[in-house]
């Protein structure tokens, strides 16, 4: 029945208003950039003081914080004086599940998102269209943005370590090669939990240059070799286990197959490959994988895949899927050499 003006149900309009709001994400990310939650860690502070510490304009900061307080992030406890709320706590850098570095606000990403229409018309990633080079090459040429992306990856690893370390028998590996392992946040957490495992961290040279600090801070540097390289070239050989954590979704099927083929070539007949990925479920059910899939489409030209699609990629690369274990975050997919 068509809604008339008199009996109009506004539920959909209100819900769409929330879903379509681009102001809250930008405001939240700007507050993270300014480290506002860290500045409030010791208790409420007036905006005039926060602005000095954050290098912000007091009037502008006041308007930003009022908007966020209206969303439950921060609270105005007295006129122009703000405090943390429970919702704001994980925005602190010292929170065990800190999300502060996950909410990046990168000019290059934002410009790519603004060109999502290009992706929808052509199927090609908007990032390359806007910047004239693919996402990974762009990061290699822009160290500051690359470091922000590495920090983002590391911050997400707190949650991943909590949810996936208990879901698979990692201690079985004498040596685990983490291909595309970033600056080593996940591998460091894994090595800390399993003292009998040795690690090999493999990623592009400009990325692994940040790894020695991460590994030393975790106290595992003596059990982890850092190998700079390109997974389209050759992957370090001889590992008992190979890990690809949220790497394949950054590539289209052909490139993902090439990477898997190089991993397969490095594996012994008895080595195991473990993929950790957000898997695309069927139907309408909400799953972050469906959002990450659009992110991959716009930025890298990659894709999040269903288990069946991943199984087919593995087959093309000479591997066979042996086990799938769901966790509250990523899915563990194990594969062995097919022959
Ligand atoms: C989404 S990040 C995941 C990082 C890490 N595995 C994690 O989960 O924290 C993808 C990683 O793939 C790496 N990568 C991209 N192209 C690569 C290549 N050609 N060879 C090796 N690593 C690559 C990136 O540098 C980045 O660290």
- Report the pLDDT value the prediction gives residue 181, as an integer from 0 to 100: 98
The protein residue with its alpha carbon nearest to ligand 1, atom 10, reads 247
pLDDT at 2 over 60: no
pLDDT at 6 over 90: no
Could you tell me if the CB of 204 is within 6 A of ligand 1?
A: yes
The yes/no answer on whether domain 137-337 falls in CATH 3.40.50.150 is yes
Could you tell me if the CB of 181 is within 6 A of ligand 1?
A: yes
Could you tell me if the CB of 231 is within 6 A of ligand 1?
A: yes
CATH T-level assignment (fold) for domain 11-102: Arc Repressor Mutant, subunit A (1.10.10)
Query: Is the overall model pTM greater than 0.75, yes or no?
Result: yes
Q: For a substitution probing ligand 1, which of 247, 261, 301, 327 has the most ligand atoms within 8 Å of its CB?
A: 247
Q: What is the mean pLDDT of residues 150-176?
A: 95
Q: What is the mean pLDDT of residues 127-153?
A: 96
Q: Where are the alpha helices (DSSP H) in the chain?
A: 11-20, 23-33, 36-39, 47-54, 58-69, 107-114, 116-122, 126-131, 135-141, 143-164, 185-193, 205-208, 211-217, 253-266, 288-299, 307-316
Q: For a substitution probing ligand 1, which of 154, 204, 233, 249 has the most ligand atoms within 8 Å of its CB?
A: 204
Question: How far is the C-alpha of 130 from the C-alpha of 30, rounded, in Å?
Answer: 23
Could you tell me if the CB of 246 is within 6 A of ligand 1?
A: yes
Q: What is the mean pLDDT of residues 66-84?
A: 98
Question: What pLDDT digit, counting tens, does each position of 209-263 carry?
Answer: 999 999 999 999 999 999 999 999 999 999 999 999 999 999 999 999 999 999 9
Domain ranges across the chain:
11-102, 137-337
Could you tell me if the CB of 161 is within 6 A of ligand 1?
A: no
Ligand 1, residue 154: give the atom nearest the CA.
9
Interhelix angle 58-69/47-54, nearest 10 degrees: 110
- Report the pLDDT value the prediction gives residue 166, as an integer from 0 to 100: 97
Could you tell me if the CB of 157 is within 6 A of ligand 1?
A: yes
Q: Give residue 94 CA to ligand 1 midpoint distance, Å.
A: 25
Give percent above pLDDT 70 in the chain: 99
Ligand 1, residue 185: give the atom nearest the CA.
9
């Amino acid at each position: 029945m068509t809604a008339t003006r008199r009996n109009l149900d506004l539920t959909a309009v209100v819900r769409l208003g929330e879903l379509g709001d681009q102001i809250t994400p930008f405001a939240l990310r700007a507050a993270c950039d300014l480290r506002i939650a860290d500045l409030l860690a010791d208790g409420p502070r007036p905006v005039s003081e926060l602005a000095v510490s954050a290098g912000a304009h007091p009037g502008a900061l006041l308007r930003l914080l009022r908007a966020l307080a209206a969303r439950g992030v921060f609270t105005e406890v007295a006129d122009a004086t703000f405090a943390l709320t429970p919702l704001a706590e994980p925005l602190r850098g010292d929170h065990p599940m800190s999300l502060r570095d996950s909410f990046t606000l990168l000019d290059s990403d934002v410009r790519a998102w603004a060109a999502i229409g290009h992706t929808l018309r052509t199927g090609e990633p908007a990032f390359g269209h806007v910047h004239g080079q693919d996402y990974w090459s762009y990061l290699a040429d822009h160290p500051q943005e690359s470091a922000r992306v590495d920090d983002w990856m590391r911050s997400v690893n707190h949650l991943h370590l909590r949810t996936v370390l208990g879901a698979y028998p990692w201690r079985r590996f004498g040596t685990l090669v983490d291909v595309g392992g970033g600056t080593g946040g996940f591998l460091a957490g894994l090595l800390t939990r399993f003292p009998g495992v040795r690690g090999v961290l493999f990623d592009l040279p400009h990325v692994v240059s940040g790894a020695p600090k991460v590994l030393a801070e975790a106290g595992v540097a003596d059990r982890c070799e850092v190998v700079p390289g390109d997974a389209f070239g050759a992957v370090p050989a001889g590992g008992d286990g190979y890990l690809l954590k949220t790497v394949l979704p950054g590539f289209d099927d052909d490139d993902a197959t090439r990477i898997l083929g190089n991993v397969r070539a490095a594996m012994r007949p008895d080595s195991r490959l473990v993929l950790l990925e957000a898997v695309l479920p069927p139907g309408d059910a909400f799953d972050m994988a469906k959002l990450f899939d659009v992110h991959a489409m716009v930025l890298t030209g990659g894709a999040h895949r269903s288990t069946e699609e991943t199984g087919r990629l593995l087959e093309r690369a000479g591997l066979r899927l042996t086990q799938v274990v769901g966790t509250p975050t990523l899915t563990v997919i194990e594969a062995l050499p097919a022959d």
